[in-house]
Amino acid sequence: MNTRKTREIVIVAYRPEWPVEFARIAAGLRGALGDLALRIDHIGSTSVPGLSAKDIIDVQVTVAELDAAALDPAFVRAGWTRIVDIDRDHVPPTATGGDQDWRKLMYRPPTEMRPTHIHIRRAGSANGRYALLFRDYLRTHPLAASAYAQVKVALAQNDSYNWDLYYDIKDPVCDIIIAGAEDWAAQTGWRTEHYA
């Protein structure tokens, strides 16, 4: 089945305003979520200085429990909408643990707001750790970040509307990068609680 989307895949050069935009989004989320948010992190390619990316700010909100009934009202009051057809992340082939470790909730902003994806993940989950480790590894390994950007740009240029192909290739590339990131984490003592 071809599930091509009508939205084009566009990869742009790094924009120095992305961290500022994240800070503004995070402040709004802190106000809306209060104690429900244990931490709010800038993740994804826009969080890595110098990395080309889709112009979409990815935000990870870490919560104690992945409970849509508790979270939806706060997001709705802030104008955010839950994306109901996304409820888990790609599971890398080296993953251990149960399916619960890869569950998430996702929200999109009001239409007048800049493109943003809010990923809600449970504290201590494998997917929450993955996002932070991936980010921090790319921040400290510019060669890996540059190679990753080249893959994304090539995929977007090859068929800029084929989202299935984009993720079919991008996800395994991320799995290769995370394998190196795991080695780096073991060597350096990297822990998620040490990073913002």
Nearest one of 117, 105, 109, 107 to 59, comparing CA atoms: 117
β-bridge partners, 106 = 119
What residue spans define the domains of the chain? Answer: 18-194
- Looking at domain 18-194, its CATH class is alpha beta
Tokens of 161: 């509307």
60 vs 133: CA distance, rounded Å: 12
> At which residue do the structure tokens 């050069």 appear?
13
Tokens of 129: 């750790």
Segment 154-180, tens digit of pLDDT:
888 877 777 888 888 889 999 999 999
> At which residue do the structure tokens 């948010």 appear?
37
- Identity of the amino acid at 122: R
pLDDT band at 3 (very low <50, low <70, confident <90, very high): very low
Report whether 43 contacts 60 (CB < 8 A): yes
Predicted TM-score of the model (pTM): 0.92
> At which residue do the structure tokens 């080695």 appear?
183
Task: State the pLDDT at residue 6.
Answer: 67
Segment 74-115, tens digit of pLDDT:
999 999 999 999 999 999 988 887 888 999 999 999 999 999
C-alpha torsion sign, points 179, 51, 10, 109: positive
pLDDT band at 1 (very low <50, low <70, confident <90, very high): very low
CA distances from 114 to 45, 58, 64, 110, 146 (A): 16, 11, 27, 9, 25
Report whether 161 contacts 6 (CB < 8 A): yes
Nearest one of 47, 29, 20, 192 to 120, comparing CA atoms: 29
